[in-house]
Each structure stands twice: as structure tokens, then as C-alpha cells.
Structure 1
């Protein structure tokens, strides 16, 4: 079991989220246990954001009394979740002791599910991946798949050398439509799954807190926490590999909609088809074969064809620029975010592609006479965005969840 009998990070988090769901509409709290848990989360959150703080600073920033801060720190120091880091400078009197979060004592498991390969990782709460392993699933039947996944999960934990009680939670990213409140994969073309309650099944098998989200939303969180969007609060992430989708973040809150369908843009009509036709690489390769009679084997070959200015490859490239431009212009007209991040093949394999999209978007965005147009960039995280996003799911809920 991931949960130990002692009060550890996972226990604190599970009690926090469980108790939070029982708050009544007036905002009163159901138990002193919940109050204390909220206080612990508040302290960890401030230390995560500020880097280091004294007891008095923690009291001021959290609004928690100094005696309670002292009790919480004593508990966290015992488990090494927090460590002392010297003393604050002082003009006179006793110098206040400073504390910081021990990021290497609090660990997160990130899992990226695909039919072709499942990737698992252990990362600290700074998002640094400590250990990683992958496997090709023997079966896509949910029960058999999850049995294999759990075995690989325990091998990952054993190989990383971490203690089970250090685990804060498990984040799962998957291509498809997800009910993130229930932890259920509503539909995934990639896995051929419908209504699989993977969050509940993994929690039953591991005892840990499991958060499930679609891969575009996960990748958006990866950019927010670890990538090019760390300094912004609102962004659109456009995913262009296992499928075309958008991850939407507004004021640091993930927007998934009441049915988990926000950002499902693959079937939006553009040009003479839908977005998927022009940006999803298997569709692009199929179009190339239809027009030339020649097969494209992989991304590398297609990139070379573009570089060599093959006329059909150039045409498909231009259509991808036009399709993505239209998506961005419409998205910004509705959302008005600070940044658009292009992920997947189109955002990482061709720097010129991103610039071409920027140039194409500029006149449309300027017509709206916006004081500030969004920054349009390629992903900094590349192929790791989904896995890092699975880690980001836990960090985001742990440190951004409203108290």
C-alpha cells in the first residue's frame, strides 16, 4: 500500500481532498481534522512558491497563527518534508530560522498511457524526473492492461529506491475524453476504451491518490509548471501528434467543461475538411500517399521532404499553417489568453513552422485592435510534455487547489 499508518504526504493530501468535498455551501468546515489538514497544505504551498520562509513569514502569508505554524513545522520536520536552511539576516536580536520544502522527499508518479507504449516516471515536486521506465502493453483489454500497469508501477517504485510513504499521488495522462472528477476515461480511440474508471481501479490497487486527465490538458499543465508558460496565468496548448486537441488554462485553472469535452478541436471544420485532416500526422501522411502514390514512413522522412521542398510536402505544410492559424485566431477571439503553445510534431520539429503561423496570425489578431496579442511559441518540453504533464496534474491539484 502507498498509504502508511503514519501521517505522511499522501495521507495529508487524501484527507484534505476528502474533507474539502464535505464543505457545506456556506463554507463552514466539518471537522478540526480538516482545519489542520488545510493548514498543512497552506504551509507546503507557501514554501513551494516562496522557496524559503521563517515561521513569522509563514504565519503572515498563510494567515495561520504562529503557534499552529510551529506545530505544523515540527511535524513536517520529523518526516523531512521540510528542512531548515539557515537564518534570516537581522539588525539585532535572535535571527529567525528559515525553512524550505524538501522536494526530494515528496515524490509523484506520472503515467502516460498509449496503445503503442506506456511510460511511467517518478519525479520530485519540482518536476525533476528521477526514474523512468516503459513497456509495450500485452493487451488493451482494460483489466489485463491495468494488471500489467500495476506490476510495472511497483517495479518502478522499487527501482527508484524511494519509500512508498514519500509518494504524494499518481497522475495519469491519456489521449481521449476524460471525466477528471470521476477519474474515468469516457472514450479513447487510441486505447479503444469506453467508460473505464481507471482512477478508481488504480486507487484500489495502490492505495494512492490518482488524478486522470486527457493528454492535451496534461501537456498544458506541463508548460504551466515546467515549460515556457511558467510566467503566465492563461494559455492555450495545441497538441498535434497522437491526435489534435487543445489544453485550456485560464487564471491558472484548467478548463475542461462539464462533460470533459473542452478542447476537443479535432473535428472543427477548416478549409475543405476538419482540423485533424491537416494537423494529425497519420492523416497528413495518408494525404501525401493519395496525392503521390508514395508512402511516408515517419516524421523524419516527412521533415526531409519539406526541407527538400517536395511540392506536395510543401503544400501539406502550407495547409497545416493555415489550419492552425484559423484555430488560434478563433481560440483567441473567445479566450484572449496570454500565450499559445504549439506542441507535438508541428511545434517542435520545425521552428520555421511556428514563425509562419505567427506571421499568418498577426494581421487577423491586429484587426481586433487588441492592446496585447498572445505570444505564440513552440513547446519547450517536446516529447516529454505528456509525461511531465502527468506529474503536473498532481502538483497542480496539490498546490493550486483552492483552500
Structure 2
């Protein structure tokens, strides 16, 4: 596999958006379309004339299309709703795990139009980078002539990510430190590359196409190999001044004798991650070869050591979620990730602990359990790349 991929000269296509307000209008069409100019004006505070002026270049360039008359048309004033042209912008999203990577091609309509999965012989940076390049190359070839609509590549990784430079500063699950992932991939792919924390990428996708479309604030808590949290408030996904935000998996709410993969003790993740639960049952039963599936089976059968491991996980997660809602009071919390498939094993303890510590009206936030596959994680990375493409296409906030 060559280090560099020769791309068509038109790849990297992005809309010409003059201002941040133009980007906001385009985003509203993406997330709420088909939508009328009147409704866009109400959502953005702009006049219909201003909306029309902003949208016209997007229609001419093939990013937005005008639909037929809507059923709710006013007498004598037919409403022709605006929608995005899904294939007008495409991104490839990649989720990097310790043993494999998942990559998908996603269009502006949030449709997955291609996917690939590759096992990793090693999760060292060079092996992972080579696998990402190979996966992206394969998906580009699948696109054929639609590759000209490719806007960029998004890569999601767990841990502390510097999104400005595309550097993985620290990923305990991968054992990566100061890996210039974005620079390396951009050099080899010849495409814009967005590197994002995996849970923040999920939150960005949830903002555009999930519960966040109509919520003023929400959190997405992920349970699996790690425990993470993405936060949306005040109109955007929280990144943090230093690039770290929502790391509830590393709140010190567990026993101090629990050692976390991050090297600290007492983290929520040290008792509530999938590996932590498995290891606890292994230790209690003195069965070093026991698998997570074995632990789940034993818990369903009522084995005391397995039941106790899931109870402790539920206690830690419930306390962490209570701390989260107490801090910013979201409308809704989505509980997602591969670990929610076993949610029944710790749901009672989780909810008891949450209600015991959520303060006042903060406990009224809606809890939604939602299974996420690794394809969904990769889709989040693609959405992060699409959002970045639109953001950099816009100028200053003043029209």
C-alpha cells in the first residue's frame, strides 16, 4: 500500500459560506430539512429576504435543493421547503480501537454509503495509521465519481485529543502519547483530516441527527471499554479550554484500591468499564481465562461475584451521571455504547444511585438508553469532519 494516495483534483469540495450566520443557516437545513425559509428565519432571527440571499449560492452550487409545495402552504403563498442534496458533501469517518478500526462513508443526509472493518495486529501508532490509510483508500475507490464530493476524513480516538493540531496527547486504552495523528494522515491522504475525541464526535452526531436537534442541552454517556461523556450546552459541544471535557470515567468516585488504565486510583472507569467488570469476576473466581461474555452469563445466573461486579459498576456510573446533571442540568441524557446491551444487569443500582445524588430538579432530565455499534462511532467521526468542513468555510460572525 503506498504511503500517499493520488486523489482527483476536485476532492476536498466545500461550500462557499461567507459568514458564520451563513453556516448556521446551512446547518439548519441539514438538521431540520425539509424546512421553509420562514421557519429558518424564525430559528435564526433573519428575514426571509436575508435567508434567500444566503441560500441562493448554495442552491446554485448544488448543496441545497428546493422542494415541491408543502402541505402547510399559506393560501396564495406556496411554501417550497429547502433540503440538502445528500451526495453534495461526503466524509469518511474512522473509529480507532485497540484491536481494530471501523471506517464508514457518510453523506450530508447521514446515510452510511460505504463501510469497512480491519483487524489490527498491533495498536501501535504506525500500524494504526497504515490501516486507516488503507481503509480510507478502499472507501474512496468505492465512491467512484462521487469521490469529488469528499470533504474530508474524521478520525475518533478515546482520550485527550488536541483537535487544533490533530494530536492524540494521551490515550490510555491505546497507550498512545503525543501522536501527531492528524498531520501524519493528512500528509499521506492529501485530504483535510479532523481528529476528535470519540465521545465528543458522538455528541456532534447526536446534535445534528439525534436528540440534540431540538434540545437546548444534552449529554451522551458511553459505557464500554471506557466510560465517557459528551456535553452539548450553549449552542455547541463542549471541548474545554485545554481540550478535555466530560471525562466522567475519571471522576474519583470508586474505591481507592481500584486501579484505572490511566494510572490513577478510584476512577469510575476502574470499576465500570467492560474490562474492569470482567477482571473483577476473574479475580473473585480465580479464573484468569474468563471472558466478558462469561461474566455476563454468570451475572444473569445470579453468581454473587458477577452480580457484585455489575452492582459496583452501576453504583459508580449512577454517581457520575448525578454529578454531571448537577453541574449543568441537561434536558436529556443519552446512555449509549456497547455496554448498554447489558444495562439490565446494573439498571436498578444505576438509577438508585442517580436519584440519591441528583440535586432537586436536575433529576428531572430524561434518560434515554440507546445501543451504539462501532459503525455509529465511526459515523460520529464522519459527522465531526462534515461539521469542520462547514465551519472552516465560514468567515467571521458579522454579516
Counterpart Cα distance in 2 of 1:220 and 1:193: 23
- Deviation track 1:82-135 (CA, whole Å, cap 9, x = no partner) reads 334224546448x56554211133212111012300111001123221110011
Tell me which residue corresponds to 1:10: 13
Deviation at 1:177, TM superposition (A): 0.9
* Equivalences for residues 114-193 of structure 1 within 5 A: 114-161=97-144, 163-193=146-176
1:388 aligns with 2:379: yes
Counterpart Cα distance in 2 of 1:9 and 1:140: 29
Counterpart Cα distance in 2 of 1:11 and 1:207: 15
Is the contact between residue 107 and residue 168 of structure 1 (CA under 8 Å) also seen in structure 2?
A: yes
SS of equivalent to 1:259: coil
Within the candidate set 236, 255, 272, 1:272 is matched to 255
Tell me which residue corresponds to 2:330: 337
Is the contact between residue 83 and residue 100 of structure 1 (CA under 8 Å) also seen in structure 2?
A: yes
- Seen in structure 2, the aligned counterparts of structure 1 residues 383 and 233 have a Cα distance that, compared at 3 Å, is farther
Is the contact between residue 10 and residue 167 of structure 1 (CA under 8 Å) also seen in structure 2?
A: yes
* Higher relative contact order (CA closer than 8 Å, sequence separation 6+): 2
Is the contact between residue 156 and residue 378 of structure 2 (CA under 8 Å) also seen in structure 1?
A: yes
Deviation at 1:323, TM superposition (A): 0.9
Counterpart Cα distance in 2 of 1:70 and 1:336: 35
**Gaps (5+ residues) in structure 2?**
1-5, 257-265
1:72 aligns with 2:39: no
Tell me which residue corresponds to 1:304: 297
RMSD: 3.2
Tell me which residue corresponds to 2:224: 241
Deviation at 1:185, TM superposition (A): 0.8
- Seen in structure 2, the aligned counterparts of structure 1 residues 68 and 373 have a Cα distance that, compared at 3 Å, is closer
Is the contact between residue 32 and residue 213 of structure 2 (CA under 8 Å) also seen in structure 1?
A: no
**Gaps (5+ residues) in structure 1?**
17-34
* TM-score normalised by structure 2 residue count: 0.81
SS of equivalent to 1:284: helix
Deviation at 1:153, TM superposition (A): 0.8
Within the candidate set 320, 325, 328, 2:318 is matched to 325
Counterpart Cα distance in 1 of 2:301 and 2:181: 45
Deviation at 1:364, TM superposition (A): 2.9
Number of equivalent positions: 374
* Equivalences for residues 371-386 of structure 1 within 5 A: 373-386=364-377
- Seen in structure 2, the aligned counterparts of structure 1 residues 348 and 232 have a Cα distance that, compared at 3 Å, is farther
1:44 aligns with 2:47: no
SS of equivalent to 1:342: strand
Counterpart Cα distance in 1 of 2:192 and 2:306: 46
- Seen in structure 2, the aligned counterparts of structure 1 residues 221 and 169 have a Cα distance that, compared at 3 Å, is same
Counterpart Cα distance in 1 of 2:315 and 2:59: 58
* TM-score normalised by structure 1 residue count: 0.80
